[in-house]
Structure formats: structure tokens, C-alpha cells
């Protein structure tokens, strides 16, 4: 029986590019199967996704060789409109696909363009709104939805065209743990309907759900097989810019048999083979006291125009030299709180103090010298023609002399690893590089506090590590570093203090290890520790990393 999808000797080079994005790819996919594509930034994953619905080469032109066959149809010989009847594509920037004035009209757009009857369009709207859990949002404007709801709407609007193949390019990248689980639940329902599904994702936990995993590197498909075949090769995963599954890394480092991907499997193997004994872990207080107040919030409240109260009486103290993770689901108040740290927002009531002075009493220049803020999207703060101009802009506005600006720009670029980039155009850089440019522009001002909103979002594993190691170095130099993040492993491995927010209030605040031991409260905040930390909790160890757990477990015996 012929495969439903066949990729034969596929290569593609974008117009005006001298490097191929895809290099001689061959792969097959069976009817009703689920494939996860993984690989570092620039590996060719998005380009490959665009070949399934003819965006490549019909919209993005270039040198196209080989072919993609879907149920006997040569995709490149058909238009994007023709392929939309059998292939649905949810872009990595899913918000770019949303343009209607309400949810119902968004869902209707595709079926209307396929000239379906009014009755059939209504049936599909009702069915797929329920399918993605948005039946109660029919009249809402897409802009008013949360990130997870917008993502589900983008998926639902594509599903409403009832394609045989759904392709989703990194659908969970910008979502909190709740939003991620919502999207994976939708993916599971798609599988139950026996549709073909392709997801680009960097998380091994997602790949473990798939029938096949395709690993890409530098435009090549270098490995393909079941999760149990592909995810156990830890050096291969790292070479592809993928975070090795922590449980596999632990079992490999300990020399234990088998290679579990799930927590339940790991616990079962440990118990059956008596690999190590559980120990009771002593509970500790999660109250966190600081020696000195660099930042202090007192009964802080903030209400957005329209009446939404995002902060509900927050009391918080942050000291010099701390490294803090600010966690919570979308809408919990994390970013709203952080924007008070440097006066981007002013309290509705209560006070936000910097070294004892209210932010409302300080000028923008004084605030900028105290607290630097790096937005989640670096493009929201980058505008200059060259990296040199961008990084030195803040000092120029503050009236510093050219020699001081030149020296600090050089120091900042060295700190973020961008020496030699001075004359490059910021918008021509990768997202990770643009984020480092944004950090460098803050560093030149030499603030005591650096706040970063989702510093690792959109980066592959290797670049996530580089970003966090850079922040670790800054913290060691004396900067107070505060990160807003959805990445639980990043918080676990790098930060020393964790603050968890829910419904505009601080729910937990303490040493990261103690906060992550409180799984019950984290669940109430719609959060969950990384698998390794959950195993650490079960074993009764203090470890937050594979290295620490190996050291602790070997020390027991």
C-alpha cells in the first residue's frame, strides 16, 4: 500500500539566497499518522512545512527540486488555494492568520471561500468551535482572546476547511503551560479522528506522543523513526539543538537500564529494579526574606482601562543581586507587575519603590538608570539602522559623551557575545541575536536591575542555554536579574528564587527548590514542575538538574 505522503529528493533554495534551505529530503507518512519535526533554528523546519500546501514554491519562489506527493497529488503543480482543501497550515506566527472582527466570522472564512452552502458552513462553525473549546466565544473579537485561545481559534479556522492533513508550525511556543496543554489536547482529538497531523515542536514530551519523529539539521532530514528510536540518541539530539529528555539523561548518567520518556515509566523501573530508595524530603517554608530592599511593592493595585484589575494588593520585596523567576499562566499579572518595576505602568493604588523612592517621583531617565526592561518581542524596542546605534541610543539620549558611549557599547556587545556586529542591521539578525542586541542596549546604561519578559521564547535549546548563561554571568557581576518565563526547566536550572502569581496576587514566593517541591500549589496555579524535578520530589532529593541529581544519588550509595 502506497504511503499517504511521500517526499522524494526534495531540495529548495530561496530566491536571492545562496544556501539551500532543504537538501535532498526523503520521507514517507502513513494515513492517520502523527509526525513531530524537531531541529535547531534555521534547520529548514518551516520551509518543509510550507511545501505541504504549495506555499513553497508557489508563493515563496526559488530553486525547487524533487517533489512532495499527497495521496497521489504532486503539490508543486497546484496552487495554494487548491491545496487548502486537503492541507491546512497553522503558521508559527498564528496571530498573523487572524483578521476577522469576531470568532464566528474567523471560523467561516475558509468554508465561505470554498463556496460551501450556508447550512454546511453553520455546521462546521458549530462543530469546530466546540472541537477547540471556543463555543462560548462566538461573538468575541480575536484580539480580546488569550494567547492559547487565539492559537485554538487559528487551528479551528483551518480545521473548518476539513483538510486531510493538518500542519502546525511550533503551535505552543508563546503559550503558558495551560495553553500548551490545551493545544496538545486538540492535537490528540485530531489524531482520534484519524487525520494526518504534523507538528513542529522543540519539546521531547510532545515528540513522545508521535508515531514518528523527524530530526532536521542544516536543511537535511538526518533521522526519522519512532520516539523510542530517535529520542534515545542524546548526542544526536544535542547536535540538532534539541534539549535531551531529562529522564533519559538521568538514566544514562546513572548507568540504569531502559530509557523512559514518561515519569510514570521512570518510577516503575526504579521501583521494580530497586535502583534507588526513596527518602522523605523535609518540607521547608516558602517565605522569602531579602536582606535589603532594592525594589518594594506595597499594597500594589493596577486596573487597566475598561475595569480589569490585573494586580490586587501585591506586597513584594526584591534585594540586590537576586536571580528571580516570575511564573504564572497568561493573565496572572506577571508582566503587569514587572512593568511597574521601571515605571512603564503607574500604580492605580499602593506604591512601587526603587531604593525607597516611589516610581511616580522619579523621571524616566532616573528609572532607566535603575531598572532595564527587555520586552518579549525584541522588535518592540529595536529601531536603529545599525547595532552600534541601537546599543548606544540610551546613553546618547542621556547626554553621555561619545567616548563613554563607544566604550560602553563595546563592553555591552562583548558581554552578550556580539563583537563584530556593530555595523550590522538589527532587523537582519536572528531573533536570538536581536534579543541580545536588546539586552546590550540595556546594559550600556548599567542598571542595577534587568527585567526580561520571556527571554528564551522562540529560541532553540542551544540558544536558550546561551541566553541563560549570559544572564547568569550578568547576575554574577552584581546585576539583579528578573525573568518572566513559561519555561519551567529554565526557572528550575537557573534562578534561585521563584515567585508564582495567580489572579493578580502572589501565590508562592521562595527559594526555587522549595517552590518547585510544592506541586499541589503549583497545580492550583496551572503550573507543573519539569519531569526531572517531579522525579526529584518523588525520590526525596534536593536536585533541580540532572548533574545535581546524579551527584546526590551516587552520594547515597
Q: Check whether 473 has a pLDDT greater than 60.
A: yes
Count of alpha carbons within 13 angstroms of residue 504, beta-carbon side? 12
pLDDT tens by residue, 411-443: 889 888 888 999 999 888 877 788 889 888 988
pLDDT tens by residue, 211-231: 999 999 999 999 999 998 999
What is 421-482 written as a DSSP string?
-TTS-GGGS-HHHHHHHHHHHHHTT--SEEEEESTTTT--HHHHHHHHHHHHHHHHTT-EEE
pLDDT tens by residue, 147-156: 778 888 999 9
**Average pLDDT of the segment spanning 237-247:** 90
**Average pLDDT of the segment spanning 300-311:** 91
CATH number of the domain that residue 339 is part of: 3.40.50.300
Same domain, 375 and 457: yes
With respect to residue 33, please indicate whether it lies within any of the assigned structural domains.
Answer: no
With respect to residue 360, please indicate whether it lies within any of the assigned structural domains.
Answer: yes
- Coil, strand or helix: which one is 245? coil
Same domain, 498 and 545: no
Same domain, 262 and 329: no
With respect to residue 34, please indicate whether it lies within any of the assigned structural domains.
Answer: no
- The C-alpha atoms of residue 520 and residue 371 are separated, in whole angstroms, by 34
Of all residues in the chain, the percent with pLDDT exceeding 90 is: 65
What is the sign, positive or negative, of the torsion defined by CA atoms of 433, 435, 439, 440? positive
Output the pLDDT for position 79. 94
What value does the mean pLDDT of the chain take? 90
Output the pLDDT for position 122. 95
- Coil, strand or helix: which one is 528? coil
Q: Check whether 115 has a pLDDT greater than 90.
A: yes
With respect to residue 151, please indicate whether it lies within any of the assigned structural domains.
Answer: no
Q: Check whether 182 has a pLDDT greater than 70.
A: yes
- Which residues have C-beta within 8 Å of that of residue 281, sequence separation ≥ 6? 517, 537, 540, 541, 542
- Coil, strand or helix: which one is 291? coil
With respect to residue 266, please indicate whether it lies within any of the assigned structural domains.
Answer: yes
Same domain, 440 and 387: yes
Among candidate residues 12, 534, 514, the one with its CA nearest the CA of residue 283 = 514
As for how many domains the chain has, the answer is 2
- The C-alpha atoms of residue 456 and residue 483 are separated, in whole angstroms, by 10
Q: Output 378 or 276, whichever has higher pLDDT.
A: 276
CA end-to-end span of the chain: 54
Same domain, 392 and 538: no
For cell 508521535, name the residue.
210
**Average pLDDT of the segment spanning 101-117:** 93
Other Cβ atoms within 10 Å of 419 Cβ, number: 10
Same domain, 550 and 407: no
Same domain, 335 and 450: yes
Same domain, 540 and 459: no
With respect to residue 368, please indicate whether it lies within any of the assigned structural domains.
Answer: yes
Q: Residue 264 is part of which domain span?
A: 245-275+531-557
Same domain, 420 and 452: yes
Among candidate residues 496, 493, 500, 494, the one with its CA nearest the CA of residue 528 = 500
Ranges assigned E (strand) in 113-219: 165-169, 196-200, 212-217
Output the pLDDT for position 259. 87
What is 353-392 written as a DSSP string?
EETTEEGGGS-HHHHHHHEEEE-SSGGGT---SSHHHHHH
Same domain, 468 and 383: yes
Same domain, 449 and 548: no
Of all residues in the chain, the percent with pLDDT exceeding 70 is: 97
Output the pLDDT for position 44. 93
Same domain, 512 and 545: no
With respect to residue 99, please indicate whether it lies within any of the assigned structural domains.
Answer: no
H or E segment at 102? Answer: none
pLDDT band at 407 (very low <50, low <70, confident <90, very high): very high
Output the pLDDT for position 149. 84
Amino acid at each position: 500500500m502506497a504511503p499517504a505522503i511521500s517526499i522524494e529528493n526534495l531540495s529548495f533554495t530561496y530566491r536571492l539566497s545562496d544556501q539551500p534551505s532543504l537538501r535532498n529530503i526523503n520521507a514517507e507518512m502513513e494515513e492517520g499518522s502523527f509526525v513531530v519535526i524537531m531541529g535547531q533554528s534555521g534547520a529548514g523546519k518551516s520551509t518543509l512545512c510550507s511545501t505541504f500546501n504549495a506555499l513553497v514554491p508557489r508563493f515563496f519562489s526559488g530553486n525547487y527540486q524533487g517533489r512532495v506527493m499527497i495521496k497521489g497529488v504532486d503539490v508543486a503543480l497546484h496552487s495554494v488555494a487548491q491545496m487548502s482543501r486537503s492541507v491546512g497550515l497553522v503558521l508559527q506566527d498564528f496571530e498573523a492568520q487572524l483578521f476577522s472582527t469576531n470568532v464566528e466570522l474567523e471560523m467561516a472564512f475558509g468554508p465561505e471561500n470554498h463556496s460551501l452552502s450556508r447550512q454546511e458552513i453553520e455546521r462546521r462553525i458549530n462543530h469546530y468551535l466546540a472541537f477547540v473549546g471556543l463555543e462560548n466565544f462566538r461573538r468575541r473579537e480575536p484580539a480580546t482572546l488569550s494567547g492559547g485561545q487565539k492559537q485554538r481559534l487559528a487551528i479551528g479556522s483551518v480545521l473548518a476547511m476539513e483538510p486531510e492533513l493538518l500542519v502546525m508550525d511550533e503551535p505552543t511556543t508563546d503559550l503558558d503551560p495551560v495553553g500548551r496543554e490545551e493545544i496538545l489536547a486538540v492535537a490528540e482529538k485530531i489524531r482520534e479522528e484519524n487525520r494526518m497531523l504534523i507538528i513542529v515542536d522543540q519539546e521531547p514530551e510532545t515528540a513522545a506522543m508521535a508515531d514518528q519523529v523527524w530530526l532536521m539539521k542544516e536543511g537535511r532530514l538526518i533521522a526519522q523513526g519512532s520516539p523510542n528510536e530517535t529520542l534515545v540518541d542524546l548526542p544526536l539530539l544535542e547536535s540538532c539543538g534539541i534539549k535531551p529528555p531529562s529522564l533519559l539523561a538521568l538514566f544514562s548518567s546513572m548507568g540504569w537500564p531502559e530509557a523512559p520518556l514518561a515519569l510514570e515509566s521512570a518510577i516503575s523501573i526504579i521501583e521494580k529494579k530497586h535502583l534507588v530508595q526513596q527518602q522523605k524530603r523535609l518540607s521547608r517554608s516558602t517565605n522569602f526574606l531579602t536582606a535589603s530592599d532594592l525594589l518594594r511593592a506595597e499594597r500594589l493595585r493596577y486596573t487597566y482601562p475598561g475595569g480589569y484589575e490585573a494586580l490586587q494588593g501585591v506586597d513584594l520585596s526584591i534585594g540586590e543581586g537576586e536571580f528571580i523567576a516570575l511564573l504564572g499562566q497568561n493573565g496572572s499579572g506577571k508582566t503587569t507587575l514587572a512593568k511597574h518595576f521601571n515605571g512603564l505602568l503607574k500604580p492605580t493604588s499602593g506604591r512601587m519603590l526603587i531604593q525607597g523612592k516611589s516610581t511616580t517621583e522619579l523621571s524616566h531617565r532616573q528609572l532607566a538608570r535603575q531598572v532595564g526592561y527587555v520586552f518579549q518581542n525584541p522588535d518592540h524596542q529595536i529601531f536603529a539602522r545599525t547595532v552600534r546605534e541601537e546599543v548606544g541610543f540610551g546613553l546618547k539620549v542621556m547626554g553621555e559623551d561619545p567616548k563613554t558611549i563607544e566604550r560602553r557599547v563595546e563592553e555591552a556587545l562583548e558581554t552578550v557575545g556580539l563583537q563584530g556586529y556593530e555595523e550590522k542591521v538589527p532587523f537582519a539578525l536572528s531573533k536570538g541575536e536581536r534579543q541580545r542586541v536588546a539586552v546590550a542596549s540595556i546594559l550600556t546604561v548599567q542598571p542595577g536591575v534587568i527585567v526580561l519578559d520571556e527571554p528564551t521564547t522562540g529560541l532553540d535549546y542551544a540558544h536558550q542555554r546561551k541566553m541563560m548563561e549570559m544572564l547568569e554571568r550578568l547576575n554574577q557581576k552584581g546585576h539583579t536579574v528578573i525573568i518572566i518565563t513559561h519555561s519551567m526547566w529554565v526557572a528550575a536550572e537557573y534562578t534561585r528564587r521563584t515567585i508564582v502569581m495567580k489572579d493578580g496576587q502572589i501565590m508562592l514566593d521562595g527559594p526555587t527548590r522549595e517552590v518547585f517541591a510544592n506541586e499541589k500549589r503549583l497545580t492550583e496555579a496551572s503550573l507543573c514542575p519539569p519531569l526531572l524535578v517531579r522525579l526529584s520530589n518523588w525520590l526525596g532529593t534536593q536536585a533541580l538538574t540532572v548533574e545535581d541529581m546524579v551527584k546526590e544519588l551516587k552520594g547515597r550509595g
